[in-house]
Homo-oligomer: A and B are copies of this chain.
Amino acid sequence: MDAVTRNPTACILVIGNEVLSGRTQDANIRYLAQRLGELGIPVREVRIIPDVADVIIRTINEVRAAFDHVFTTGGIGPTHDDITSECVAAAFGVPWEKQPVVWARMEAHYPPGQFNTARQRMATMPRGAVLIDNGRTIAPGFSMANVHVMAGVPAIMRLMFDMLAPRLAGGAPIVSRSVHAETIREGDIAAGLTEIQARYPALDLGSYPYYRDTTAGVAIVAKGTDDAAADAAIAEVTELFKSLGGRPVAGEPA
Chain A interface (Cβ < 8 Å from any Cβ of B): 14, 17-26, 29-34, 37, 42-51, 55, 77-82, 114, 116-119, 121-122, 153, 155, 174, 176, 186-191, 193-194, 197, 204-209, 211, 221, 223
Which residue of chain B is the closest to A110 with respect to CB atoms?
B187
Q: List 18 A-B contacts (CB under 8 A).
A: A21-B42, A22-B29, A22-B30, A22-B31, A22-B37, A23-B176, A23-B208, A26-B26, A29-B48, A46-B47, A47-B47, A79-B190, A79-B194, A80-B207, A114-B188, A118-B187, A118-B190, A122-B187
Contacts of A191 in B (CB 8 A): 116-118
Copies of this subunit = 2
Which residue of chain B is the closest to A35 with respect to CB atoms?
B22
Contact present for B45 and A49 (CB under 8 Å): yes
Contacts of A30 in B (CB 8 A): 19, 22, 24-26
A118 to B42, CA, bound (A): 29
A77 to B118, CA, bound (A): 50
A44 to B174, CA, bound (A): 32
